[in-house]
Amino acid sequence: MVTAYDYPSAVHVDRAGIDIVLVGDSCAMVELGFETTQPITLDEMIHHCKAVKRGAPNRPLLVGDMPLGSYEYEDSDVALRNAYRMLKDGGMDAVKLEGGSAARANTTKKLVEGGVAVMGHVGLTPQAISVIGGFRAQGRTATRARSLLDEAMRLQDAGAFAIVLECVPANVAKVITDTLEIPTIGIGAGAGTSGQVLVFHDMLGMLSHPHHEEFVPKFCKRYARVGHYITKGLEEFRHDVEQGDFPSEEYSPYVMTEEEKEAFDLLLAKDEEDRRTKHDETIKKLTEADEYEQLSLYGDKDK
C-alpha cells in the first residue's frame, strides 16, 4: 500500500502495480504544509479522493482516511453519513479509521453494517497526537503491547477487513498479525506484517527542503531522491531564461508564412502612431502612480 493525494501520484502508484492506494490524511502535512494531520477537513479529503480516483480508476483498492472530527461522535450516524460521502462523492472503495477503543469498534461495526468497508489503524495514531504526546512509537511496554493486541482483535470482531500497525515493535506487530485472521499493513512495524505502507513523498524523496529532510521518519527507506532532481530542473530553467537560452528556435515551433508576416507588418503600420501614443500615456500614468517603483518592473527601484 502507498499513499497518493492527487491525479499524478495516483497514476504513478497504479502503474507500479501497488495493490492498495491510501488517500491519507497525511496529505495535510506533505501536500498542504500543516505540522500535523489534524487540520484537514472532510471536504478537503474528498477533493483529494476524487483526484486519486481519476488517476487510478480501476485496478487498485482505494482507501480514504476519515479525517479528525468526521467519525468520533457518540452518534455513529454522523460517521456513517460522512463515510458514505467518502464512497459516493470521493470514489473510495473503503475508509480508514484510527484507534481501537470500544467506541471506535462500535463505529466500525456501524459502518460495516451500513455497507462501508473499514480498515482499522492502531499503534501510533497521528490524529490523536495531542493525547498521546506527539509522534511517538507505541507498544514498547508489555502492558501497552497487550492493549494493542486487544484493540486489533476488537476491530477485527467489529468487521474491519484489515488493520494498519504504525510505529510498534516488530515482535508486537508479528504477534498481532499471527493472531488475527485479517491482514495487517505495517508502517514502522517490522517485516512480520501481511503488507507494508509508506508515504509517497517520503519514499521518493519528493521534497529536498531542510525542514522536510529533518522530519522524514526513521522507518522510511528512500527509493529515490526526486526532490533533488526537481530543484535542479527548476534552477536550470531559471538560468536558461535569465541567460536568454530558453526558448531557442527548437522550442518555438509556431511560425507564420512569409506572406502572413508581410500582411501582419502592414496591419501594424496602420496604427503605429496610435500605439506609440498609448504607450507613452501608459508610462506617464504608471510613473505618476509610482507603479514602476512598487512593482520593480524597470530596474532597481532605489535608483
Active-site annotation, residues: 166
C-alpha grid cell, residue 223: 527509493
Strand partners, 101: none
C-alpha grid cell, residue 163: 488493520
Yes or no: say if 9 and 55 are a contact pair by the CB < 8 Å rule: yes
* Residue 129, amino acid: I
φ and ψ at 211, to 5 degrees? -60, -45
- Nearest of 108, 122, 92, 112 to residue 24 by alpha carbon: 92
According to DSSP, residue 220 is labeled P
Q: Is the bond leading into 247 cis (omega within 30 degrees of zero)?
A: yes
C-alpha grid cell, residue 11: 497514476
- Nearest of 202, 196, 158, 156 to residue 179 by alpha carbon: 156
User: What is the gyration radius of the CA atoms in the chain, in angstroms?
Assistant: 27
According to DSSP, residue 163 is labeled E
Give the H or E element holding residue 228. Answer: helix 226-243
* Three-class SS state of 31: coil
Q: What is the C-alpha separation between 24 and 142, in angstroms, rounded?
A: 30
Yes or no: say if 149 and 176 are a contact pair by the CB < 8 Å rule: yes
Q: Are strands 117-123 and 195-196 parallel, antiparallel or unpaired?
A: unpaired
- Nearest of 50, 53, 51, 25 to residue 40 by alpha carbon: 25
